[in-house]
Homo-oligomer: A and B are copies of this chain.
Amino acid sequence: MTKEKLRVIPLGGLGEIGKNMMVLELPRDMIIIDAGLMFPEEDMLGVDLVIPDISYIRERKKKLRAIIITHGHEDHTGALPYVLRELQAPIYCTRLTRGLISVKLKEHKLLKEADLRTVSPGEKIRLGPFQVEFVRVTHSIPDSCGLAIRTPVGTIVHSGDFKLDHTPVMGEPTDLPRWAELGREGVLLLLSDSTYAETPGYTPSERVVGESLDRIMATAPGRVIVSTFASLISRVQQVIDAAHRNGRRVFVTGRSMVDNVQMARELGYLSAPENVLAPIDQLSHMRPHKVVIISTGSQGEPTSALVRMASRDHRHIKIAPGDTVVMSASPIPGNEMLINRTIDNLGRLGAQILYTRIADVHVRGHAAQEELKMVLSLVNPRYFVPIHGEYRHLMTHARLAQAMGLAQENAFILEDGDILELDEKGGKVVGRVAADHVYVDGLAVGVNQVVLRDRRRLGSDGIVVVILTVDKHSGHLIGEPDVVAKGFMDTEDAEEILDKARKQVTRALKRANHHSDWAEVNARVRDALSQYLYQETRRRPMILPLTVEV
């Protein structure tokens, strides 16, 4: 042990689900773990995606030694195209993760200058005073890793996203013996996945889904359409295997599914017996009970292949009675309405739909309570920080640790931006750094709160524009003000009210003696109109007074 201090600073993923990013900082060196994005919540109107605020890193970018990516999901990789515009550092990840990142960086025309380095599970890399070991874990994407990070202050274990699947359908199980070994050697701090900390018991093995798929394909009277995440390569493999066993051919639809299947086959992560996969234009020649279709759209995404089928808008696939649709995914919170609409529309077309509430067609990718306790017990850390979860998940996970005997003061419930400082004397939260949401909207990074507040107001009650024409010499109003509304109320009803509103504005302005101070005039118009419209309609549209000087 030295007298050095280590700072652990979450910049995303703690207190929210998604946009995971963690900073480990020593006096002269810094590494980042993960750089993910988050999809916008329902009140972030018009926002395309949300990424972490990296201003703390930006101000110290000379210290940055590396960006470590634990696995290839978007909530761990999706901010890379934005982060790499400002930060230069090698990116360390496993092979499939690298494949997925490459596809993304290519889209953003950033692949050439990126320094991607492949690491195998079990491998150790040296980054200045940090030594980072990749430790194999099971998750809903192959090639996932947790990390064991040696620092001058002690060993830090980062679980990544994980579950303990002892019979994974692809690759090997979580390297529990290594966690145990590290635990015996002594671990200063455990950072562990809290996404399903509320769920009692064990997460079932991926094999459960394979058995269901077999049963479905054996008994379905017609085509079987399986919709899942494009990154869930092991699920795609299970679908191909089950199709093969049941004498069905497999067709792939949806851009990201087609791309990922191709990439995974090239890298050897997906294998298909000859003649099982077939091009989609051959679909029309097949008898229905010989067909399996793998599709995007498990989250009800409006432009996805499955949603196009549900709205009779898919070029190759017309849903008909006899079709069986399998939703092999769980809803990401916030997507429930879109997913339910898709299921309902498929049902209206006569399909039978199987989804998690009524059939065993998906298992979660994250550890439940008994698995979390197992890892806590094997790693046996001195300090514990629950990561990856909303506040109640972190609380519940901390409570699990405390129930196992961890001292209450040694479990830190951190949120994004908190600085946890560790040295030989112990650990404590010493301050906060900026860690707000950064909104990406169209081509712009960084839409601000004012814009979002305006959008919420506009979206809820619409806008009323008032145009005042003014003589620039005398400062007097010329003619009547003009009032135009959008998103406010039905044209018929609005006409009468807007006509009266015009008179209210004229009256409000008459009471003013001189019109030299236009800020004051505008405020007066806004107040008078706002009050009048609320009284008549109980709504508060945005009032936008505009002055035209002639």
Which listed residue, B42, B455, B491, B539, touches A458 by the CB 8 Å rule?
Answer: B455
Chain B residues positioned under 8 Å from A43 (CB to CB):
337
Closest to A461 in B: B46
A467 within 8 A of B: yes
A446 within 8 A of B: yes
Interface string of A448-460 (1 = CB under 8 A from B): 1011001111111
Which listed residue, B199, B390, B486, touches A463 by the CB 8 Å rule?
Answer: B486
Which listed residue, B198, B199, B358, B458, touches A198 by the CB 8 Å rule?
Answer: B358
When the two chains form their complex, are residues A353 and B392 in contact, meaning their CB atoms are under 8 A apart? Answer: yes
When the two chains form their complex, are residues A490 and B459 in contact, meaning their CB atoms are under 8 A apart? Answer: no
Which listed residue, B199, B451, B478, touches A488 by the CB 8 Å rule?
Answer: B451
Which listed residue, B334, B392, B465, touches A344 by the CB 8 Å rule?
Answer: B392
Copies of this chain per assembly? 2
Interface string of A479-499 (1 = CB under 8 A from B): 000101011111101000000
When the two chains form their complex, are residues B544 and A465 in contact, meaning their CB atoms are under 8 A apart? Answer: yes
* Residue of A46, A454, A482, A544 most packed against chain B (CB within 10 A): A46
CA separation between A446 and B396, bound complex, in Å?
45
When the two chains form their complex, are residues B46 and A460 in contact, meaning their CB atoms are under 8 A apart? Answer: yes
Interface string of A12-54 (1 = CB under 8 A from B): 0001000000000000000000000000011101100000000
Interface string of A394-432 (1 = CB under 8 A from B): 011000000000000000000000000000000000000
CA separation between A442 and B550, bound complex, in Å?
38
When the two chains form their complex, are residues B463 and A463 in contact, meaning their CB atoms are under 8 A apart? Answer: yes
Interface pairs (21), CB distance under 8 Å: A45-B460, A46-B459, A46-B462, A199-B357, A334-B336, A348-B391, A358-B396, A441-B489, A441-B539, A443-B536, A443-B537, A447-B489, A451-B490, A455-B459, A455-B462, A458-B463, A458-B486, A458-B487, A467-B546, A482-B548, A548-B550
17 other A-B residue contacts (CB within 8 Å) besides A41-B337, A443-B538 = A15-B344, A46-B539, A333-B337, A334-B337, A340-B392, A343-B391, A344-B392, A442-B537, A448-B490, A455-B462, A455-B487, A458-B487, A465-B465, A465-B546, A469-B548, A469-B550, A486-B542
